[in-house]
Amino acid sequence: MRAAAGWVQRCGAARLSRPLRVGSVPGVLNQGAAWNSASRRRYGVLPRARDAEEKAVLDSMMRVDHAGEYGADRICAGQMAVLGRTQAGPLIQHMWEQEKLHLQKFNEILAEHRVRPTVMLPFWNVAGFVLGASTALLGKEGAMACTVAVEESISEHYNSQIRTLMEADPERYTDLLQLIKEFRDDELEHHDTGLEHDAESVPGYFLLKTVIQAGCKAAIYLSQRI
């Protein structure tokens, strides 16, 4: 009973393939083009959880992914704040737009499946902005190095999630797997873009990268749990 009432959230282009629903529900409209391409789902990205344990695992995964995209959005904001009016501006803006789409998608998923967002969001807000801005102060190369480090962490994280889901039940999580794969490919593209634009030429690249990736690992660990 509750299931029917609760899952009436609309999710972007899936609306096109679903029959018209009477009335409207408070929800987030997603007209994001990136997601249109892959949607055949009728019931939402996550399968309905069979028991509390599966729900906890899926919730934790979605929570940390949401936190990750939120952090990425703030990092890009920090980078734009410093380098927005330079030559690197359009490049960073383009990557920012893609991160915004990812964040929007995860916002929808969290709302639809009643997943609790992580408590650490205000911290990631500040920390992300400060990270983006401070590395951007090292110049365009610094910003690119930060991008490379973060995107490498995130793609590694997405890959481990894909592995977990594939090991559990690829059939059941088809849509979710497709989503994560698409996002991982986007992040890898950003990583490669960063490398192309002289990320490695920043002084102390190796140290910077290690520190940032350690921070990302800690962030992932915390966001999964709280």
Rank residues 22 and 207 by Cβ distance to another protein and give the closer one.
22
52 binds another protein (CB under 8 A): no
With beta carbons less than 8 A apart as the criterion, state whether 73 and 100 touch: yes
Report if residue 23 touches another protein, rule: CB under 8 A.
Answer: yes
The answer to whether 97 is a known ligand-binding residue is: no
Please say whether the beta carbons of 135 and 142 come within 8 A: yes
Does 151 carry a binding-site annotation? yes
69 is known to lie in a ligand binding site = yes
Q: Which is nearer to another protein, 111 or 177 (CB)?
A: 111
* 107 versus 134: smaller Cβ distance to another protein: 107
Q: What are the residues whose beta carbons fall under 8 Å from the beta carbon of 209, sequence distance 6 or more?
A: 145, 148, 149, 152
Name the 3-class secondary structure at 137: coil
Distance between CA atoms of 46 and 115, rounded to whole angstroms?
11
**Is 19 a binder of another protein (CB under 8 A)?**
no
- Cβ proximity of 223 and 68 under 8 Å: yes
CA 22 to chain centre: 32
Q: Does 49 bind another protein (CB under 8 A)?
A: no
Cite the annotated binding site by residue number. 69, 99, 102, 151, 187, 190
Residue ranges that bind another protein, judged by CB under 8 A: 1-2, 4-6, 8-9, 21-23, 25-28, 66, 106-107, 110-111, 114, 116-117, 119, 121-122
